[in-house]
Amino acid sequence: MRLVLLGAPGAGKGTQAKKLIEKNNMPQISTGDLLRAAVGEGTDLGKEAKSFMDKGELVPDSVVLGMVEERLQKDDARNGFILDGFPRNTAQAEALDAMLDKLGMPLDAALSVDVPLEDLMKRLTGRRTCKGCGQMYNIYFSAPATENECEKCGGELYQRDDDQEATIQKRLEVYQEQTAPLIDYYGGKGILKSVSGTGNIEEIFNNVVSTLGL
Ligand code: AMP
């Protein structure tokens, strides 16, 4: 299945994507993760991206599109993929359609994970990620048994630089203005599906699986 995950920052796209890849053998392609890796490695691309990410703004399309095009051509994407955090605006969605047309791999679905705006702030300020294995926690809703320690691998937890309150506000604004219109974009193409992203992670996942017919 070739799938785009849509939803505001903090809607749980990454969590659901990780569960989907455990169930189905396909890669999760997260532009946020790819960009954070480039920032961590200190590459030129990473340095350019960081200034936008720290402000909660979108990294220029030219940077992100090149990264995605390269990733989609790897062998493991041939049997399907989950795009998480991409596309983020209409220009990226159009470029993605053109790329996938060229590769002969059109999208099967765009799944919107819907969470009310007022819940997103707490989800994002409370978010913590394991440095070791990437497992995610939330200090308000799903805290680890021992503070700051991953239950899976014992790794230390960290808070993303862009999960600070002022940056979050900006990211939510950017989502409303630039990314939310993609719901209509994919609706118009007849491939939009949606699930509620509120409640228990397992329940949400069961809905995701049945909505996608997996
Ligand atoms: P995420 O992990 O998806 O919330 O992304 C974190 C940050 O990376 C965003 O706030 C943007 O600055 C940048 N980013 C991630 N994906 C994209 C994208 N598709 N287009 C532009 N910027 C992106």
Q: Convert the pLDDT of each residue in 160-184 to its tens digit.
A: 989 998 899 999 999 999 999 999 9
- On the question of pLDDT at 84 being above 90, the answer is yes
User: Within 6 Å (CB) of ligand 1, which residues are found?
Assistant: 9, 31-32, 35, 52-53, 56-59, 64, 85-86, 88, 92, 162, 171
- What is the distance between the alpha carbons of residues 39 and 46, in angstroms, rounded to a whole number? 4
Of 3, 22, 19, 5, the C-alpha closest to 84 is: 5
2-27+74-212 CATH choice from 3.40.80.10, 3.40.50.1370, 3.40.1390.10, 3.40.50.300: 3.40.50.300
Query: Is 127 an active-site residue?
Result: yes
**What is the C-alpha to C-alpha distance for residues 4 and 2, in angstroms, rounded to an integer?**
7
- Among 33, 162, 174, name the best residue to mutate to test ligand 1's pocket (greatest count of ligand atoms within 8 A of Cβ): 162
The arithmetic mean of pLDDT across residues 29-36, rounded, is 95
**What end-to-end distance do the CA atoms of the chain give, in Å?**
9
Contact 204, 197 (CB under 8 A): yes
143 Cα–ligand 1 center, Å: 25
pLDDT class for 25, splitting at 50, 70, 90?
Answer: confident
pTM, two decimal places: 0.91
Q: What integer pLDDT is reported at residue 68 of this predicted model?
A: 97
Query: Over 90: is that where the pLDDT of 117 sits?
Result: no
